[in-house]
Amino acid sequence: MINDTIVDGLTGTDPPAFLEFPETPYLLLDPKVAAAQYKRLAEAFQQTQVFYAVKANPEPEIIRRLAEAGSSFDVASTVEIDICLSQGADPETLSYGNTIKKAKDIRYAYQRGVRMFVFDSEGELQKLAENAPGASVFCRILASSEGAQWPLSRKFGCTPEMAADLLAKAPSLGLNPIGVSFHVGSQQLDPTRWDPSIADAAWVFRKVAESGISLNFLDVGGGFPVSYLEPVAPIEEFARAIHGSVERHFGELAPQLAVEPGRYISAEAGVLRSEVVLVSRKSSTDTQRWVYLDIGRFGGLAETEGEAIRYRIVTPHDGQASGPVALAGPTCDSVDVMYQKTPYDLPLALKPGDYVEILNTGAYTTTYSSVGFNGFAPLATFCIGDNA
Ligand SMILES: *Cc1c(COP(=O)(O)O)cnc(C)c1O
C-alpha cells in the first residue's frame, strides 16, 4: 500500500528518494494500487461489469492500467471519453453516465463508438433518440443518500413510475432500453442502503415487462467507502449484501449486474504531501492551535466541506505529546477551513516547514482543485513508477 510505504519512509531519517519532489502540495499516486483495488472489487462482486467512475481520478496511467485489467468506464464528458480511448479502452466499455448532456456531446460520443447512455428525463431521452440512434439506454432512478458521508441530492434520477414509462417508450424512439441505475451517495457506510433501490429497480423491470419489454441491466452505482479516520466494512460485505438483495427482489430473473466505483478504486492509490505554513493561537490562553497547511479547500480538499470527509493526517512527530487543532488552508477565503468541529489532535512539536501526509487522497482531490485561486497552483500529481 502506498500509504504504508510513505508512512514507513517517514519513520526513518532519510525519506525514500521518490519523496524528494520540489514544492508541496502534491499528490503522490501509485496506479498499481488502483488496479489492485479494481481486482479485489471485481472478485468480490463476481460476474459484474465494473465501470470505473473516471471523475474520481482521470490520471491516464490509472485508466491505462484499469483498461488492461478489464475494467469498463463511467464517463461524464467528452474529455473523459477521450482520456479513456487514448489509454486503450474499447468504446464498447464506456458508459456515458451523466444525465445532463449537450446534444453535440452525445453526437461526439456516438461518433467515437460509445453505445451506452443514461437518462433520467423525457428531454434527455429525446436528445438520445436524435443523436445516438439505436443506442442502449438505461434510466437512473432517485435513491436515498441516507448513511452516506458525501450525499447526493435530488439532482439525479426520477421516480420508478417515470422510469418505467420512459423505458417503455424508448423502443418507439428507436432506442434499446436495457435497464436501471441509481447511486446511494458517496462514501456510503451502510451495506444495506442499496436494498430499497434494488427493490425499486425490480419493480421497474416488472412494470416494463407488462409492455412486453424485458430489461436485464441493473447498475447499482458507486458509493463504496474507504477508510479515512474511521475504518469501514470490507468491500466483500457490500458485495454480499447487494447480491442478497438482488436475489431477494429479482428471484430467478437475475439481471446482469453492474457497479460504478470511483472512490473505492482510486482513493487508496494516493497520498497528499503538504507543508505546514503556520501554527498559531487566537489568544494566549487558547488550548486549541490553528494549523495552516499549504493545501486547503481550494487546493484539492473540497470534500472537507461540512467536514464531510475526514482524512487521516500523518506528521513527523506522531507518537509525541499532542493537543487539539483546527486545520485550515492557505488562501484568504474564510471558507478555506478543513476542520474546526471534528476533534483533530496533532503533536505539539508541529512547526512551520514540517511536511504532513494526508492519506487515502487519490480520489476527488486533483480534479476538485481550483485552477489558481489566490495564485495557488492546481494540485500536481506525481506517479510512482514500477520500481518504487
Ligand atoms: C461519481 C459517480 C460515481 C462514483 O461514485 P463513488 O462514490 O466515488 O463510488 C458513480 N456513478 C456516477 C454516475 C457518478 O456520477
| Nearest-atom index, ligand 1, CA of 185 | 7
Q: What is the pLDDT of residue 20?
A: 59
To 10 degrees, what angle do helices 78-86 and 103-111 make?
20
Bridge-partner residues for 291, per DSSP? 279, 327
**Cell 493537543 sits on residue:** 323
d(CA 261, CA 253): 24
Residue 351 reports pLDDT greater than 80: yes
**166 plus 46 within the same structural domain:** yes
Residue 388 inside a domain? The answer is: no
In this predicted model, what pLDDT tens digit does every residue of 176-206 receive, in sequence order? 999 999 999 999 999 999 999 999 999 999 9
d(CA 262, ligand 1 centre) in Å: 5
pLDDT for position 18: 53
Number of domains forming the structure of the chain: 2
Give me the pLDDT at residue 36, please: 98
Asked if the structure places residue 164 within a domain, the reply is yes
Is residue 177 located within the same domain as residue 313? no
Kindly state whether residues 83 and 146 are assigned to the same domain. yes
Residue type for 234, please?
Answer: P
Residue 332 to residues 93, 282, 302, 369, Cα–Cα distance (Å): 44, 17, 16, 16
Confidence of residue 6 (pLDDT cuts 50, 70, 90): low
CB-ligand 1 contact for 124 (6 Å cutoff): no
Q: Whose CA is nearest to atom 2 of ligand 1?
A: 53
Contacts of 98 (CB under 8 A, 6+ apart): 75, 76, 77, 118
Please tell me if the CB atom of residue 183 comes closer than 6 angstroms to any atom of ligand 1: yes
- Are 107 and 184 members of one domain? yes
pLDDT tens by residue, 214-265: 999 999 999 999 999 999 999 999 999 999 999 999 998 899 999 999 999 9
- For residues 296 and 277, membership in a common domain is answered with yes
Q: Is 56 in the pocket of ligand 1 (CB under 6 A)?
A: yes
Q: Is the predicted pLDDT of residue 19 greater than 60, yes or no?
A: no
To test the ligand 1 pocket, which listed residue (139, 150, 224, 260) has its Cβ within 8 A of the most ligand atoms? 260
**Cβ(140) – ligand 1 distance below 6 Å:** no
Which CATH number belongs to the domain containing residue 355 in this structure?
A: 2.40.37.10
Under DSSP, the state recorded for 158 is B
**What is the predicted pLDDT for the residue at 387?**
53
H-assigned helices in 170-227:
195-209
Of 231, 249, 266, the last residue of a domain is 266
Task: Check whether residue 215 and residue 79 sit in a common domain.
Answer: yes
Q: Is the CB of 263 under 6 A from ligand 1?
A: yes
Residue 315 predicted with pLDDT over 90? yes
Alpha-carbon gap, residue 134 to 127, rounded angstroms: 12
**Measured from the CB, is residue 55 less than 6 Å from ligand 1?**
yes
The verdict on residue 352 lying in a domain is yes
pLDDT number for residue 12: 37
For ligand 1, whether the C-beta of 58 sits within 6 Å is no
Distance in Å, CA 169 to ligand 1 centroid: 27
Mutate to test the pocket of ligand 1, among 183, 218, 268 (most ligand atoms within 8 A of CB): 183
- Give pLDDT tens digits for 281-312: 999 999 999 999 999 999 999 999 999 999 99
Give dist(CA 377, CA 298) in Å, integer: 10
How many angstroms separate the CA atoms of 187 and 173, rounded? 37
No. of H helices and E strands in the chain? Answer: 10, 18
Closest CA to 294 of 348, 356, 342: 356
* 186 within a domain of the structure (yes/no): yes
**Ligand 1 binding pocket includes 299 (Cβ within 6 Å):** no
In a domain, residue 354? The reply is yes
Domain boundary among 231, 266, 301: 266
**In this structure, what CATH number is given to the domain that contains residue 218?**
3.20.20.10
pLDDT band at 385 (very low <50, low <70, confident <90, very high): confident
Does the beta carbon of 186 lie inside 6 Å of ligand 1? yes
For residues 278 and 208, state if they share a domain. no
Range of the domain at 162: 31-266
| Ligand 1 atom having least distance to the Cα of 118 | 13
The verdict on 10 and 81 lying in the same domain is no
Q: Using CA atoms, how far apart are residues 9 and 16, in angstroms rounded to an integer?
A: 6
Q: What is the 3-state secondary structure (H, E, C) of 268-317?
A: HHEEEEEEEEEEECCCCCCCCEEEEECCCCCCCCHHHHHHCCCCCEECCC
Q: How far is the CA of 261 from the centre of ligand 1 (A)?
A: 6
Q: Does the pLDDT of residue 34 top 50, yes or no? A: yes
**CA 259 / ligand 1 centre spacing (Å):** 9
Residue 383: how many other CB atoms lie within 10 Å: 18
| Average pLDDT taken over every residue of the chain | 94
Residue 148 is assigned to a structural domain of this protein: yes
- CB distance 180 to 163 below 8 Å: yes
In the predicted model, what is the mean pLDDT of residues 5-34? 68
pLDDT > 50? residue 14: no
Q: Which of 266, 290, 319 marks a domain boundary?
A: 266
Residue 55 lies in a domain: yes
Residue 1 has pLDDT above 60, yes or no: no
Task: Measure the CA–CA gap between 39 and 234, rounded to whole angstroms.
Answer: 14
pLDDT (0 to 100) of residue 134? 98
Produce one character per residue of 123-132: b if its CB has 16 or more CB atoms within 10 Å, e if not.
Answer: ebbebbbebb
Q: What percent of the chain has pLDDT over 70?
A: 94
Q: What is the dihedral of CA 93, 176, 134, 88, to 10 degrees?
A: 0
Q: Which atom of ligand 1 is nearest to 261's Cα?
A: 9
Give the number of the atom of ligand 1 that is nearest the alpha carbon of residue 222: 9
Task: Select from 74, 184, 242, 303 the residue to mutate for testing ligand 1; criterion: most ligand atoms less than 8 Å from CB.
Answer: 74
Peptide bond into 25 cis (omega under 30): yes
User: Do the domain assignments include residue 198?
Assistant: yes
Tell me, yes or no, whether 187 and 305 share the same domain: no
Q: How far is the CA of 92 from the centre of ligand 1 (A)?
A: 19
What is the whole-number distance in angstroms between the Cα of residue 84 and the centre of ligand 1? 16
The answer to whether residue 89 scores a pLDDT higher than 90 is: yes
Domain identity same for 12 and 43: no
The pLDDT value given to residue 17: 54
Q: Residue 145's pLDDT is what?
A: 87
77 and 170 share one domain: yes
108 and 242 in a common domain: yes
